[in-house]
Each structure stands twice: as C-alpha cells, then as structure tokens.
Amino acid sequence: MQIAFLMAPEGVEQIELTEPWEAVTDSGDKPRLVSTRPGLVQAFHHLDKADTFPVDQVVTETSADEYGALVLPGGVANPDALRMNKDAVAFVRAFFYAGKPVAAICHAPWMLVEADVVRGRTLSSWPSLRTDIRNAGGEWEDEQVSICTVAPSTLITSRKPADLKAFCAAFIAEFAKAADVAAGS
C-alpha cells in the first residue's frame, strides 16, 4: 500500500518524518513524499536546518485515491505553511471523505483544523494547539497517542517527538486494519 507523507517545501521536523517513514517501510508499505512544490523538502531539527528529502509527487498532480493512508509530520512551520495552500488542505480533507486513515503528530493537527475535519473527534497534539482544536469542535487530550474513529475514517494523533515509538506502532496497526478492510479480509 502507498502511504502519502504531506509536507511543505520547508519546515518539517526531521525526526517526525524519518521515524514514521522508516516504520512504513519496515511494515512493507511504500511511503511517498508529497509536497506543494517539486524538488527537495528542507527538514529541520527544531530551528536548525537538517537534511533535505526529494519530493515524489506534487499535491496538484496526485489525489487521495492513489494512497491507502496519510501521514502528517509536524514541525511548527510545516503545517503552518501547508494550511495556507488550498490544494494541500483539499488533499487532507479527501482522505477523510474517502474513509482512509490519517496520522498526525505535534503541530500537524493545524492541517486538520484547516481542513475542517476535527469536529466531533478527540485528538492529541503539541499543547499549544489545544485551543485551536477545541475552537474547531474537537476534543483535545494530553495523551501519547489518540485513536479516534468517526465514520468513515480513523485519525491517529500524537503530541511530540518523544511519543514517536508509540505513534508509529499505533498508526501502522491502524493502517494494516484499513488495508485488510479494503482488501475484503
């Protein structure tokens, strides 16, 4: 199954990209980096530039139909830039409408707020997003991992890089369930 990783051209927190990417690869699925521009994505270690990663597809040239699930890595600048791009927001929303699982960590739930998909859902995030999530109709909780299924989709969220091991295990399990359902198992 192909898994989309949506990122802005710069600002993603590197560890929130690389650890989930490795978890997807280790599970036998195929991660694909989707961004708003072709070329390279500049990752960060907090506020310092880190590595760059090649974009596989531009968001305007793909759709949720090509993927089984979506991962939204955080970093403060990454979701802040993405939520200003109507195509990126529509891409995220499409996963929810299609009933495909979505995983988001740290500041990435800003994209969920912008896509108007948090109403009636319980989720975790970096604590500073608490008010944004509540104002968008969601319920915020300070948990290592939150799994919330509201038909037709499942949302897996987490607070911060220290939660990555639990976050990756949870979304890999949920993605596998979704793949089994899609395959008719």
Query: Does residue 107 have an active-site annotation?
Result: yes
Catalytic one of 46, 106, 148, 168: 106
Q: Which residues share a beta bridge with 63?
A: none
Active site residue: 45, 46, 107, 148, which one?
107
Rounded Cα distance, 19 and 42, in Å: 16
Closest by CA to 163, choosing from 121, 138, 130, 126, is 126
Which helix or strand (DSSP H or E) is residue 52 part of? strand 48-54
Q: Is residue 89 within 8 Å of 114, Cβ to Cβ? A: yes
Is 106 a known active-site residue? yes
Answer whether 70's CB lies under 8 Å from 102's CB. Answer: yes
Could you list the active site residues? 106-107
